A = this chain, B = another copy of it.
Amino acid sequence: MTRARSQERRAEIVGAALEVIAERGYRGASLGAVAERVGLTQQGLLHYFPTKEELLVAVLEERDRWDTGGSRTAGARRLDLLGSLVEYNAMRPAIVRTFSALLGESVTEDHPARDFFTRRYTQVRGDMAALLRAELGGTLPGGLTPAQAAPLLVAVMDGLQYQWLLDPEAVDMPAVFRAFLALLGYGAPVDDGGGATRSSR
């Protein structure tokens, strides 16, 4: 098998794992179910990922590619990019579901994704604090510092995903996220009318 074909196969397997985790969570996911979805035997899958945890690592690396677009882009208006990222996420519930399920599971005992999320959140809070300071200065509305607002920004993104996944008709995730940016003093006040239930687009 060529190297390119092998890489392609790995990507297919990771894609199938994302689906199976979205359906059953990581603990509920079996390598057999993932293998079946890509037309491999379980033995065949083990050739690419010798353990379930190694497959999880590949899934989590996928997350890194998924959500750093907004936070790592240099230059101005990065808060706008963050708003666009939330809009983009609202168009792909499957992957949002996978990572929301994994985040929830990660707080249970000895979960293999726990260290990943812990380290990742330390990093993201730092990145967000720097971003807020660069765009809005050292004192935010309510007297908050960027370091205080950073965990709130992260919490809003995660928390809104659960509400939106459970009830996409009731929660306009991008509009509510933009409302949070307005609360931070960024961008125009959001035109409302219908509360949180109407799209602002």
Asked if A100 is an interface residue, CB under 8 A from chain B, the answer is yes
A residues whose Cβ falls under 8 Å from a Cβ of B: 22-25, 27-28, 97, 100-109, 114, 117-118, 121-122, 125, 129, 140-145, 147-152, 154-160, 162-163, 165-167, 170-171, 175-176, 179-180, 182-185, 188-190, 192, 194-197
Overall SS of chain A's interface:
helix
A97 touches B101 (CB 8 A): no
A100 touches B109 (CB 8 A): no
Q: What are 18 A-B pairs with beta-carbon distances under 8 A?
A: A25-B25, A25-B104, A114-B166, A142-B182, A142-B183, A142-B185, A142-B190, A143-B188, A144-B182, A147-B195, A147-B197, A148-B190, A151-B176, A151-B196, A152-B183, A155-B155, A156-B156, A157-B159
Query: Which residues of chain B have C-beta atoms less than 8 A from A109's C-beta?
Result: 22-24
A185 to B121, CA, bound (A): 27
Q: Which of B24, B156, B167 contacts A27 (CB 8 A)?
A: B24
- Nearest-CB residue, chain B, relative to A183: B142
A-B complex: 5 closest residue pairs judged by Cβ atoms: A104-B104, A143-B189, A147-B195, A155-B159, A142-B182
Q: How far is the CB of A152 from chain B (nearest CB, A)?
A: 5
Query: Which residues of chain B have C-beta atoms less than 8 A from A189's C-beta?
Result: 142-144
Query: Which residues of chain B have C-beta atoms less than 8 A from A154's C-beta?
Result: 159, 163
B142 touches A106 (CB 8 A): no
A156 to B182, CA, bound (A): 16
